Chain A
Amino acid sequence: MPSSPSSSATSRSEPGAARGAGPGTAPAIRLRGLETRFGRNVVFHDLDLDVRRGEVLGVVGGSGTGKSVLLRTIVGLNRPTAGRIEILGEDTARFGPAAWRRLDARFGVLFQDGALFSSLTVAQNIQVPLREHLDLPPDLLDGLAAMKIAIVGLPAEAARKYPAELSGGMRKRAGLARALALDPELLFLDEPTAGLDPISAAEFDRLIADLQRSLRLTVFMVTHDIDSLVTIADRIAVLVDKHIRVGTMSELLKDDNPWIHAYFHGPRGRAALAPKPEEA
């Protein structure tokens, strides 16, 4: 058997590593000239973004700059007013319901509070995508759900519980297990650490980094949490002035945009950046 892995957040496999015999080298997500507006309120305009395969992209921005709108637009919950969205090499513009269904199986989304179906147990929640997209016998469903529950670090008893019986952190882990149920190539996270205490937040960051490495996921993570960015993001995208700027942490630290400067050089930014991220 292979030896046990050393879990360090920094020694990650190189970004962009192709996943298995996955198709091509097209970026996981490619946005071109994207525009979204609600009525006369333009959320973003002429937005270009490439998310490379195998990287963790952290998306930050002030409140109301449309981070969540961007995520919802990419996964198809909002229609963009203009522009092109390619996910895993497929242009979603003329997608019909069947094409979306196929694509839906290839990415997972973790919503802010887990968005678990409240009438189902955790195990049943995880089995929803499996039942919907595949025809598996019951013992396989149970075995896979039990493994997913263990992978996200939930105790085995959690399988039988209903979402209302779980704490916020456990709900997020269960939501992550459901997002990973079909072993997607691409994972969207909406504020994964919001509402968690610092210890749980750090654990959750480590969990995502660990899974990202072992399952070779591409992660699109909307966040407010500078600590998360420091620990797990390969690159950071900042939404400012209806556009997006992408760079590594060190590049953005040199950026002189007032908001970016305030974000990374404010008291919280400095605190998160001050000690070099250590090996966990």
Chain B
Amino acid sequence: MAVVAGWVRTSRKDDRLVVAAGGSWVVATTAALDGPLRAVDAADARTVVIDLAAIEMLDTAGAWLVVRTQRALQSVGRTVAVENLEPTFVPLLEQVVQNVVDGPPDMHPPPRRFGDFVARIGRVTVAQLTGGAALVGFIGLVFVTTLRTIRHPSRLRLTALFSHMEQAGVNSLPVVGLLSFLVGIVFAFQGADQLRRFGAEIYTVNLLGVSILRELGVLLTAIILAGRSGSAFTAQIGTMKVNEEVDAMQVLGLDPIEVLVLPRLFAMMLTLPLVAFFANVMGMLGGAIMAWISLDITIPGFLRQLRSALSGWTFWVGVLKAPTFAGIIALTGCYEGLRVSRSAESVGRLTTRSVVESIFLIILADAVFSIIFSYLKI
């Protein structure tokens, strides 16, 4: 839309200052009008007339400028009259006159200071501690509910359990399998490169076997499932919180822990070891293929070497960690989901949080396992 420019002209008649306004006084022209209006100098005039006769277009922003100028001149003791406004614009000007806020508006949050930083440290610390206490409470609650479900197994929601097993387990097989396969290839390639210098290429198989079966297979699976299913748990439960579905459940006499948390927890604990096993197989497969291509170790040769490399515990060390990781993922996911408030924005925030927390806790738990296993010498 072509906007006619707005203009301001001042003229003097004895001790009267006439401020003539014309053209478009609309939001698009306010920036241009602002300067001239501030520059209006009523130093030796007693009365000021704001003559609006030539105004062609006026909106609230333009009217606001008129009123602001009027008030500014009044505040320094001038008599100000606003005249000759076209009648169609009068209601608009009245509307603005009633709503102009005097003085500099105070509408910005105060700037940050060093004290705020200290206060923030304190706030975060308290929040972490209370959050930790709430988490312990949640784990206890889940534990008690689990015991009750064990006594009354019929209360376990089987449909939900199988559906979550499908989503977390079966549907994650392609991505977990592919990634493990690739990691197997990369490990075989890098390991072979280093070990060749000692003429010990055959030990690539040992490297693969130990690292994938003990650590990488299960860790990779847990991290992928934390990103895939842990986040889904938080988002699903969080959305239900936003829709007040969790409240509705409670009012209907359903226990949200029993209905929402236990199926996810059990599904995770049952499927993660299986998916981790699949990841182990795919990782070894990738390693075996790479060994065959770059080291000329045939598949039967690979298997023979692998058998000699592994102690009875190697495989179980990996698989034993799986249910723990599964518990971490499911509990963190559900806990953060239940912490969602009624705003949609908190769903996103807590989902991110749940993923970061579970990956952090998984790696922490893995370190603890390493220490325990090294004490046990397995």
Report A118-159 CB contacts with B as 1/0, cut-off 8 Å. Answer: 100101000000100111110110111111111100001001
Given A20-B57, A118-B343, answer yes or no on A144-B27 (Cβ-Cβ < 8 Å). yes
16 contacts between A and B (CB under 8 A): A2-B97, A20-B88, A20-B89, A21-B56, A121-B108, A134-B27, A137-B34, A140-B34, A146-B101, A159-B107, A160-B108, A164-B343, A182-B27, A183-B60, A214-B91, A215-B60
Task: Evaluate contact between A21 and B57: CB separation under 8 angstroms.
Answer: yes
Q: Which 6 A-B pairs have the closest CB atoms?
A: A183-B59, A150-B99, A159-B107, A146-B105, A214-B95, A214-B91
Contact of B60 among A5, A106, A136, A148 (CB under 8 A): A148
Q: Restricting to A143-181, which residues have a CB under 8 Å from any CB of B?
A: 143-151, 156, 159-160, 164, 180-181
Question: How many angstroms from the CA of A85 to the CA of B333 in the assembled complex?
Answer: 47
* Chain B interface category by residue count: 35 or more
Task: Evaluate contact between B99 and A151: CB separation under 8 angstroms.
Answer: yes
Report A201-218 CB contacts with B as 1/0, cut-off 8 Å. Answer: 000000000110111100
Task: Evaluate contact between B34 and A146: CB separation under 8 angstroms.
Answer: no
Question: How many angstroms from the CA of A13 to the CA of B95 in the assembled complex?
Answer: 15
Task: Chain B residues near A216: list those with CB within 8 A.
Answer: 88, 92
For the complex, is B21 an interface residue (Cβ under 8 Å from A)? no
Report A2-24 CB contacts with B as 1/0, cut-off 8 Å. Answer: 10110000000100010011110
Q: Which of B31, B58, B60, B93 has the most CB of A within 10 A?
A: B60
Task: Evaluate contact between B94 and A4: CB separation under 8 angstroms.
Answer: yes
Task: Chain A residues near B104: list those with CB within 8 A.
Answer: 139, 142
For the complex, is B331 an interface residue (Cβ under 8 Å from A)? no
Task: Chain A residues near B82: list those with CB within 8 A.
Answer: 1
Question: How many angstroms from the CA of A215 to the CA of B27 in the assembled complex?
Answer: 13
Given A142-B107, A160-B108, A215-B60, answer yes or no on A151-B343 (Cβ-Cβ < 8 Å). no
For the complex, is A254 an interface residue (Cβ under 8 Å from B)? no
Task: Evaluate contact between A140 and B105: CB separation under 8 angstroms.
Answer: no
Q: Restricting to B19-56, which residues have a CB under 8 Å from any CB of A?
A: 26-28, 30-31, 34, 56
Question: How many angstroms from the CA of A140 to the CA of B95 in the assembled complex?
Answer: 18
Task: Evaluate contact between B105 and A135: CB separation under 8 angstroms.
Answer: no
Task: Evaluate contact between B95 and A143: CB separation under 8 angstroms.
Answer: no
Question: How many angstroms from the CA of A180 to the CA of B63 in the assembled complex?
Answer: 14
Question: How many angstroms from the CA of A164 to the CA of B342 in the assembled complex?
Answer: 10
Task: Report B's interface with A, CB cutoff 8 A.
Answer: 1, 4, 26-28, 30-31, 34, 56-61, 64, 68, 82, 85, 88-101, 104-109, 343, 345
Task: Evaluate contact between B101 and A5: CB separation under 8 angstroms.
Answer: no
For the complex, is A94 an interface residue (Cβ under 8 Å from B)? no
Task: Evaluate contact between B95 and A215: CB separation under 8 angstroms.
Answer: yes
Task: Evaluate contact between B94 and A2: CB separation under 8 angstroms.
Answer: yes
Task: Evaluate contact between B94 and A17: CB separation under 8 angstroms.
Answer: no
Task: Evaluate contact between B1 and A150: CB separation under 8 angstroms.
Answer: no
Task: Evaluate contact between B101 and A137: CB separation under 8 angstroms.
Answer: no
Question: How many angstroms from the CA of A214 to the CA of B104 in the assembled complex?
Answer: 26
Question: How many angstroms from the CA of A179 to the CA of B92 in the assembled complex?
Answer: 17
Question: How many angstroms from the CA of A182 to the CA of B28 in the assembled complex?
Answer: 8
Task: Chain B residues near A149: list those with CB within 8 A.
Answer: 101
- Smallest Cβ distance from B41 to chain A, in angstroms? 19
For the complex, is A102 an interface residue (Cβ under 8 Å from B)? yes
Q: Which of B64, B104, B107 has the most CB of A within 10 A?
A: B107
Task: Evaluate contact between B31 and A160: CB separation under 8 angstroms.
Answer: no
Given A136-B31, A143-B105, A215-B60, answer yes or no on A1-B1 (Cβ-Cβ < 8 Å). no
Task: Chain A residues near B61: list those with CB within 8 A.
Answer: 144, 183
Task: Chain B residues near A182: list those with CB within 8 A.
Answer: 27
Question: How many angstroms from the CA of A20 to the CA of B190 in the assembled complex?
Answer: 77
